[in-house]
Structure 1
Amino acid sequence: MPHEIALTESRTLRESVMDRVEVLDKVKALTLLPDGIHLTTEGVAAYFEIHKEAVHSVVRRHREELSLNGMVSVQGSDLAALRTVNLTIRSAERSLTFPQTQGKVRLFTRRTVLNVAMLLRDSDIARRVRSHLLDAEESFRGQHQGPSAEEFAALDARLCRVEARVAEVGAVLQELGPLLNRIMDRLDRVERRVDATNRVLAALADRVHRLGADVRRLDHRVGRIEQTLRRQALRES
């Protein structure tokens, strides 16, 4: 496991553990603004028990990195809106009020405070945070390490058994192949016979329909002949 000072020297190492903000409260309670999200420069300095100029120094040297991890500066209407939010949600548990300055206020999130902890060299709190951070990371890796040689061997044996079953299934499918082909051929023949029968039935239905039309026409002609014969019989009588 690397020494805690390695975090102050390697940005890559810092980025690999940047999400583990829970270690902050394990070292010391973090006093946030009433919104429960931000700290001011003074709040960060109080957490690390240093002068706020030390925080300014870290910001000057690592502004880009800290900005990527949540540090922002607010002023004007944004500052007024943020002050209103903080004053509105202030509770008995959070007696700290929002700064009343009309200038610019720099704000830090938990993630940014953790970033500062990995950059501060002259703070015992920061050193303890780094140590807790590396311990937590080492514990996490121990819990999520890969399988042992025995576990790997057991997995390999299970995989071999699965492969053997797959081979058996493949052999059965090869035996079933010709039978399935014969069944498909028979189904094709049945379908062709059914299609032929349907065509014959359709032709018969058409002929029946035409025959019905002929019968109706014949019946109409017979009716006319009967009417003619009745009229003639009436005239002769």
Structure 2
Amino acid sequence: MSNLDLDLFEPMPLDLTAPEARRERDRYGDRTDVLDKVKALEYLPDGVHVTTELVANYFEVPAETIKSLVHDNREELENNGYRVITGTELSSFKKLSCVGLRARSLAVFNERAVVRVGLLLRDSPIAQAVRDAVQDGYDYARRELARPARRTGGRLDFLREMLDQVEAVEAEQERQREEQNRQARELFQQAQEQLRQARELAEVRARIDSAENANGWLTALAYAKLNGLPTDQWSTNQLGRLASKLMRTAGQEPKKVHHTVWGEVGSYPTDVLDEAADTLFGGA
């Protein structure tokens, strides 16, 4: 048997999860197609990433089990798409993916990383199903090669045919990955554009609501909208009352302006609103 035969069709280890089976796991790293064949995988709104909790749900194990697996195999998982995002990237991710506002970091997995979890994770029927699925084609080829040659040209022709099929499958998988990545990029760009437009619209609406005069005074509602503060009626009323109190303490009075919806409303200098917001909300 040639070296090529040995490389492609040497007996598989019984346990793909074993530390010494890294080479075999690397062989199947691109088999993201098996994930949805085994079970539907739930993604974050970006359609590309999943969190630790979503990975745990997929494999039907506690989240702590996935965290422990990452701790023990971090380098291998990072080489296959696992990463922890922070800083400005996390801020953008929060806006697009509804991640908790208090999170300072977020661990995310792409499909390759999820496959790698399936190749490493023990005691999960779903992970075992992933391992079985990625090995199906390999086992079929090995069984066929063990049979007497049935084609003209014998074993070598069959090997070439199998290699052609493998290359065709890999090419199709690569095409599908590129298409998925393209669609994900488009969705991300669309989401960013929608976010930009929403911000612009909010600012325009706030300025319309503000009934600003030449001195830059604002209504409580407009100030809240422009500074990302609560805009419910109770909060804006509290802001307006405190701003009025501060002005009267300084011997001034709020200005009355006409609002197209609310009629006559109070308008206040921005520095007074800054002080009131700092008192009520801990800073604008």
- Give the TM-score taking structure 1 as reference length: 0.54
Other-structure match for 1:47: 58
Aligned to 2:84, the other structure's residue is in SS state strand
More helix by share: 1
Aligned to 1:73, the other structure's residue is in SS state strand
Q: In the aligned structure 2, how far is the partner of 1:140 from the partner of 1:22?
A: 19
- Residues 1:65 and 2:76 aligned together: yes
- Residues 1:6 and 2:34 aligned together: no
Q: In the aligned structure 2, how far is the partner of 1:29 from the partner of 1:136?
A: 21
Which whole-Å deviations, capped at 9, do the CAs of 1:140-173 have from their partners, x for residues lacking one?
678999xx575227x99xxxxxxxxxxxxxxxxx
1 or 2 for the larger relative contact order (CA 8 Å, sep ≥6)? 1
Give runs of aligned pairs for residues 61-140 of structure 1, distance below 5 A.
61-86=72-97, 97-139=98-140
Note the C-alpha offset of 1:2. Answer: 3.4
Note the C-alpha offset of 1:78. Answer: 1.1
1:29 corresponds to which of 14, 24, 40: 40
2:31 corresponds to which of 20, 23, 33: 20
Q: In the aligned structure 1, how far is the partner of 2:152 from the partner of 2:42?
A: 46
Q: In the aligned structure 2, how far is the partner of 1:23 from the partner of 1:143?
A: 22
Query: What is the identity percentage for the equivalent residue pairs of Structure 1 and Structure 2?
Result: 39
Over the aligned positions, Cα root-mean-square deviation in angstroms equals 2.9
Counterparts in 2 of 1:21 and 1:103: CA distance versus 1, 3 Å: same
Aligned to 1:42, the other structure's residue is in SS state helix
Note the C-alpha offset of 1:33. Answer: 0.5
Counterparts in 2 of 1:62 and 1:149: CA distance versus 1, 3 Å: same
> 1:75 touches 1:102 (CA, 8 Å); kept in 2?
no
Unaligned stretches of 5+ in structure 2?
A: 1-10, 158-284
Counterparts in 2 of 1:144 and 1:76: CA distance versus 1, 3 Å: farther
Which AA in structure 2 matches 1:6?
D
Counterparts in 2 of 1:143 and 1:26: CA distance versus 1, 3 Å: farther
Note the C-alpha offset of 1:139. Answer: 4.2
